[in-house]
Amino acid sequence: MNKMLLSCKEATFLIEKQMVSPLTFTEKLRLGMHLKLCKVCNAYESQSKTMNKALEKWVKEGALSKTLPPKIKSDILQKINRK
């Protein structure tokens, strides 16, 4: 494969990487070229950004510090123990 063209696997890696750290100029260029040609990776990038925004909002609202209501916790444990 041409060194400038990314596979979808490489593109999705860069899509996720850009969420946590800046891409190099070459990575940005290669990802941009791939995204111009690949509708599937475009959709993946859009979905990934949406999920990251939702998770950031969830964390900011303190959802991680909340505990489950006892009834829900009990139901989950019962379902786990059935297996």
Domain-embedded: residue 3: no
Tokens found for residue 74: 């009990």
By CB atoms closer than 10 A (0-12, 13-18, 19+), residue 13 is: middle
Closest CA to 35 of 58, 5, 56: 5
> Does residue 44 belong to any structural domain of this protein?
yes
Q: Is residue 56 part of a domain?
A: yes
Contact indicator for 32, 11 with CB cutoff of 8 Å: no
| pLDDT of the chain, 83 residues: tens digit per residue | 567 789 999 999 999 999 999 999 999 999 999 999 999 999 999 999 999 999 888 888 776 666 778 888 888 888 888 86
Residue at 37 is within a domain: yes
How many domains is the chain partitioned into structurally?
Answer: 1
Quick check: is 78 in a domain?
A: yes
Q: Is residue 2 part of a domain?
A: no
For residue 36, is it within any domain?
yes
Range of the domain at 28: 8-82
1 lies in some domain? no
